[in-house]
Chains A and B, each alone.
Chain A
């Protein structure tokens, strides 16, 4: 399968990419790792007239700690994230980075590119939504910073303006006593998740002081499950409170019935993944080291 013909432009810097994007207009797309864009172009679901390749720019694959946050550069790959200090400090980042697709895709796909694509079944958005994440954007006329929740507007649609590129993501480091977990269910490694759950909890003794819950692949955008989080906050974590919150999470979405399963099946997945994720998150909040990753059928 061939993509439709396009013109190729290699960016020397992100600034250069933004300038070229402004010049070429909306028919131009940015190419980073290409792990989503190239398949979309081969299937002709997307046929940009021009590609601006940022993949040859040096020094953009950083993930570094600065002022209590982790800065994720535009070209940091999933593999870079899985091996980063950020993923050791914030285990939910590791859950996601080490489980996305397969080794080959993780070696080339980027975290920032995944957010820029805003695929409803993407893994990163739910994870980064339960953390404090800012999106740093760059254009000819300057920079701006947006919260991730406002950045993702619809399926495959972000708040990026014409001529604007994503420069980096900034994820606030979590505090002691906070633990998270991301679990996705998929039929085999290379496919998208059927449903996924991200949870980040802050505990005080047995009591959940703060909770954040986000669901992936069950709607056109990731779902921030506020009612589910509220059901956990202020309560002791036990089978009963977790079951109540799991029910609230399942009720907060209307998953589309498709080749990955029926609405009810996906709701059942959400309940189960949620319960497991809360248990792992709680153990991590108490300082335990727990390794989990995506579930396969």
Chain B
């Protein structure tokens, strides 16, 4: 049970990586941008890949009527997400410590993981909803009003995950280091649960 608890502590502590590393990366490629332009999404706000990328993305997007990228204080998510992730990491560590000291049931590990998965899905849903709004809620006075083959206004929504051609740009949207650390951490808590159950079974035999 001790090694399982250590894994639980480690796994939930890996969430804290999100306070250092970005969660997600969106990068854009176009002939005029040979070295690319893009942004990293952190828990608490957006950051350009290069110093002035956010300003330059806004500059490009104003032609098609997209609103400016939100500042940290312009979206509740950038305040709430750090609290949720920090809180979950703390709870996970406490559960792990209790497992270590008090031998609480490994089912606590699983419960934490299920809650974390649930929150993750909610977070992704929210992220996607923002991107839909960002990519389709366009200024009616937009300089360029592009339409698709059916005559509907073109959506500039970046992909949630993967690559998409948008006019002269190719947009890539993928998880960044913080997300990979979180995923690995969650995997460790699953192992912790599995190890804990195994130990429990061998103990009862």
Q: Do they bind each other?
A: no
Interface residues of B, Cβ cutoff 8 Å to A:
none
